Structure 1
Amino acid sequence: MDDISTSTLFIILGVLILISGYFSGSETGMMSVNRYRLRHLENEKHKGAIRVSKLLSRTDRLIGLILIGNNLVNVFASLVAGIIFERYFGDAGIFYAGLVLTLVILVFAEVTPKTLAALYPEKIAFPSSIILTALLKVFYPLVIIINWITNSFLALLGISPEQREQHSLSNEELRTVVNESSALIPEQDQNMLVSILDLEKVTVEDIMIPRSELVGIDINEDWKKIQKQLTQSNHTRVLLYRDNIDDVVGYIHMRDALKLLSKNQFTKATLLRAVREMYFIPEGTPLNVQLLKFQHAKERLGLVVDEYGDIQGLVTLEDILEEIVGDFTTTMEPAPSEEVHKQPDGSYLVDGSATIRDINKEMSWHFPTDGPKTINGLILEVLEEIPQAQMSLRIAGYPIEIVDTSDNMIKTIRVIPDLFVAHNAD
């Protein structure tokens, strides 16, 4: 080293620091690459992505290679710096070399390259993968030895290098990705994607038409009355039952009824022969599961039954699709806005039979949805009795006044959200 000029040593030191910066930046760039974009580019046969993906397939070997190179370079850099400073400051130069080199390495070989690599991982990782692939072949025996030693220590902790993170997103993480992609995905599409993710949290009871609102035809009625009910029906599929809704015969598609009518064969006997078998759905079935069951069974509607086989309500394929895309313009069911009426004083009159989820969605309220499905059921659960009109209470922070009750049901309530806001502000 004494034969090497000081200027040459400075050049060697500069080169070593640049190489150290390369290894530091490569490590950060490799680890910061978006794995999902990397898979996409790999499927597109992007050469850089293929190389990076191959290196990342064994992260322990990649990190081992980078750290071997980085530590070798830093050790040699410290030796060279020690010689340079010793020439200027004598024995004290070793101490000064350690201080100065630490600062230089931190700025130029650690913080700066790693920051750049974190900001532009692909621009760093893809070109760097060419050099790293070649170095892995050169230092492969040393890398294997180092990995064998480190993996042995990891094995003592019950960790295997094969137990690599699969980088799979959870439901909540995927929801966050969708919500934060507003620049790429229109708001309507975002809402649809989030609704799809929510299907597993919503059950058929949350969207079903409750038993009390089911409309059907009693086939034991007079034939003329049955004909009148069919011709005046607003639905394409009509339930048929005997005497009461629990004795369901099936349902008739209006298209089948029209065929019989066109052929002058429209009688009670032919109507019964055209009845389609009813499909039943266990209560508690998540919507994502039921959507697949509808698809596999080639069905479009079904009756929700409890553990005793009692009918609780009716769910259609359209009901599930509306959870994803919103209400269809052709739906015959009242929209939440038709069940909520704003009053001049700022309060809202709400139909007691309104579904809590629909009201929350429409009005951005936060009534609990983990219990009863309707406003009436929620109040009855809280009070544990059928209340009288003019009674007031507070649920989930919302002041509620019971306006009208009849037939053992709460027909209308008044919600005063302004008081809820004032109460929270206090």
Structure 2
Amino acid sequence: MDDISTGALFSLLILLLIISGYFSGSETGMMSLNRYKLRHLANQGHRGAKRVEKLLARPDRLIGLILIGNNLVNILASAIATIIGMRLYGDLGVAIATGALTLVVLVFSEVTPKTLATIYPERVSYLSSIVLNVLMKVLYPLVWFVNGITNGFLLLLGLKVDNMNSSKLNSAELRTIVDEAGGLIPRRHQDMLLSILDLENVTVEDLMVPRSDIAAININDDWKSITRQLIHSAHGRIVLYRDTIDEVVGMLRVREAYRLMMEKNDFSKANLLRAADEVYFIPEATPLNTQLLKFQRNKERIGLIVDEYGDIQGLITLEDILEEIVGEFTTSIAPTLAEEVTSQADGSLLIEGSANIRDLNKSLNWSLPTDGPRTLNGLILEQLEDIPDSQLSIEVAGHQMVIMDVSDNMIKLVKILPTTLKQTG
């Protein structure tokens, strides 16, 4: 070193600081990349993305390579700075060189390149991957040796390197990504994607048409009554049963019944039963995502939900599940939320007791509890633990509710006061 001029040492020091900055920026850029965007670009044939993805396949080796290079450069830079300091200031130059080099390294070789790499991770990573690929081949034996020691130490701590590079997302993390997509994904599409993610958290009970609202015909009724119900039916399919809804005998397509009506000789109870389809039963706790696949696999569109004792609890259709994803269609067996909620001039809302709590939460941005009853009627009855009289006022989850109508042991109509609407808006 004594034969090298001070000017040459300064030039070499500057070069080492630049190389140190390159390693620091490369590390930050590589680790700041959006892995899913990187994978997409690699699948599209982007060369830089392919190089980076290959390096990131073993992040332990990549980090080992960068740190080996960065530490070698910084140690050499420290030695040269010490020599320059001693030449210029004698023994005091060691302290001066240490302080000055620390400040220069922090500003120009650490903070600045890492900040730039954080802002432009793709540009930095794609360019630096060219050099890193070459260095990986040249220094592979050293990298392998250092990583072998490091990985062995991690194994002693109970950590496996193979499990440290998992890029799988759970549904909650995927929901966050969709929420933060902003203008990249239209709001309507975001809602649909989030609804799909919610399917596993919702069961068929949450969407079913309640037992009391199922369109059904008692096959033991007189013939005129059966005919009248068929003619005035607003549904495409009707449940046939004997005396009680739990004794289901089939699912009749109304269109098929009309065909039998045209053929008067064939229009009888026996022929109605023969024309009816076999009933498809669904366990009450089935998640929506599972039931959607079962509908597809079994080529069914409608099913009756039964509890553990085999009693009918409700009815659900394929359309009900699809509506949960894309929104309401124009046709539905159950009344729509718009039909169950009426705005008043004073800002209050009149809501039918049969309104689904999940639908109210989604449409009105409320937070009514959904871990118990599924209807507003059931929620209020659970709170009161009694069947109330009308005009009774109760507060539920911050909403002031007035019971307007009670009949048949059910709350038929509830008024939500406007003061609570403003607080939740």
- Pick the TM interval, shorter chain: over 0.9
Provide the residue aligned with 1:324 in structure 2.
Answer: 325
Kept after mapping to 1: 8 A contact 2:59/2:165: no
Provide the residue aligned with 1:42 in structure 2.
Answer: 42
Kept after mapping to 1: 8 A contact 2:390/2:404: yes
Amino acid at match of 2:293: L
How far apart are residue 222 of structure 1 and its match?
A: 2.2
Amino acid at match of 1:340: V
Q: What does 1:261-280 align with in structure 2 at a 5 Å threshold?
A: 261-264=261-264, 265-280=266-281
CA distance in 2, matches of 1:215, 1:326: 23
Provide the residue aligned with 1:206 in structure 2.
Answer: 206
Provide the residue aligned with 2:116 in structure 1.
Answer: 116
SS at 1:400 equivalent: strand
Provide the residue aligned with 1:392 in structure 2.
Answer: 393
How far apart are residue 202 of structure 1 and its match?
A: 1.1
Q: What does 1:340-419 align with in structure 2 at a 5 Å threshold?
A: 340-419=341-420
CA distance in 2, matches of 1:326, 1:216: 26
SS at 1:233 equivalent: coil
The alignment yields a C-alpha RMSD, in angstroms, of: 1.7
How far apart are residue 83 of structure 1 and its match?
A: 1.6
* C-alpha spacing 1:363/1:61, structure 2 compared with 1 (3 Å): closer
Provide the residue aligned with 1:93 in structure 2.
Answer: 93
How far apart are residue 421 of structure 1 and its match?
A: 5.0
Unaligned runs of 5+ residues in structure 1 are: none
Deviations 1:115-166 (A, max 9, x none): 1111111111112112111111111111111112112211110112222231
How far apart are residue 285 of structure 1 and its match?
A: 1.2
Q: Which moved more, 1:252-261 or 1:1-10?
A: 252-261
Amino acid at match of 1:152: G
How far apart are residue 406 of structure 1 and its match?
A: 1.4
CA distance in 1, matches of 2:361, 2:87: 78
Amino acid at match of 1:337: A
Amino acid at match of 2:363: E
CA distance in 1, matches of 2:415, 2:246: 34
Q: Which moved more, 1:140-149 or 1:251-260?
A: 251-260
Amino acid at match of 1:115: T
* C-alpha spacing 1:115/1:135, structure 2 compared with 1 (3 Å): same
Kept after mapping to 1: 8 A contact 2:346/2:418: no
How far apart are residue 7 of structure 1 and its match?
A: 1.5
Amino acid at match of 1:166: S
* C-alpha spacing 1:210/1:332, structure 2 compared with 1 (3 Å): closer
CA distance in 2, matches of 1:373, 1:163: 41
How far apart are residue 263 of structure 1 and its match?
A: 4.6
Provide the residue aligned with 2:339 in structure 1.
Answer: 338
Kept after mapping to 2: 8 A contact 1:208/1:315: yes
Corresponding position: 1:299 with 2:300: yes
Provide the residue aligned with 1:14 in structure 2.
Answer: 14
Corresponding position: 1:28 with 2:25: no
How far apart are residue 332 of structure 1 and its match?
A: 4.9
CA distance in 2, matches of 1:74, 1:131: 18
SS at 2:235 equivalent: coil
Amino acid at match of 1:76: L
Deviations 1:294-322 (A, max 9, x none): 11111111111111111111011111111
Amino acid at match of 2:210: P
Deviations 1:69-114 (A, max 9, x none): 1111111111111122222111111110011111111111111111
SS at 2:313 equivalent: strand
Q: What does 1:177-192 align with in structure 2 at a 5 Å threshold?
A: 177-192=177-192
CA distance in 1, matches of 2:397, 2:71: 60
Provide the residue aligned with 1:51 in structure 2.
Answer: 51
How far apart are residue 267 of structure 1 and its match?
A: 2.7
How far apart are residue 419 of structure 1 and its match?
A: 4.3
Kept after mapping to 1: 8 A contact 2:241/2:248: yes
CA distance in 1, matches of 2:409, 2:255: 39
How far apart are residue 39 of structure 1 and its match?
A: 1.4
CA distance in 2, matches of 1:341, 1:62: 62
Unaligned runs of 5+ residues in structure 2 are: none
Provide the residue aligned with 1:230 in structure 2.
Answer: 230
Kept after mapping to 2: 8 A contact 1:390/1:403: yes
* C-alpha spacing 1:231/1:397, structure 2 compared with 1 (3 Å): same
CA distance in 1, matches of 2:363, 2:324: 13
Kept after mapping to 1: 8 A contact 2:26/2:117: yes
Amino acid at match of 2:45: K
Kept after mapping to 1: 8 A contact 2:283/2:308: yes
SS at 1:403 equivalent: strand
Amino acid at match of 1:293: K
Q: What does 1:53-68 align with in structure 2 at a 5 Å threshold?
A: 53-68=53-68
CA distance in 2, matches of 1:332, 1:316: 9
CA distance in 1, matches of 2:376, 2:59: 55
SS at 2:91 equivalent: helix
SS at 2:244 equivalent: coil
How far apart are residue 251 of structure 1 and its match?
A: 0.7
Deviations 1:278-303 (A, max 9, x none): 11111111111111111111111111
Kept after mapping to 2: 8 A contact 1:398/1:417: no
CA distance in 2, matches of 1:223, 1:419: 52
How far apart are residue 246 of structure 1 and its match?
A: 1.0
Amino acid at match of 1:110: E
Q: Please, what TM-score do these two structures have when normalized by structure 1?
A: 0.95
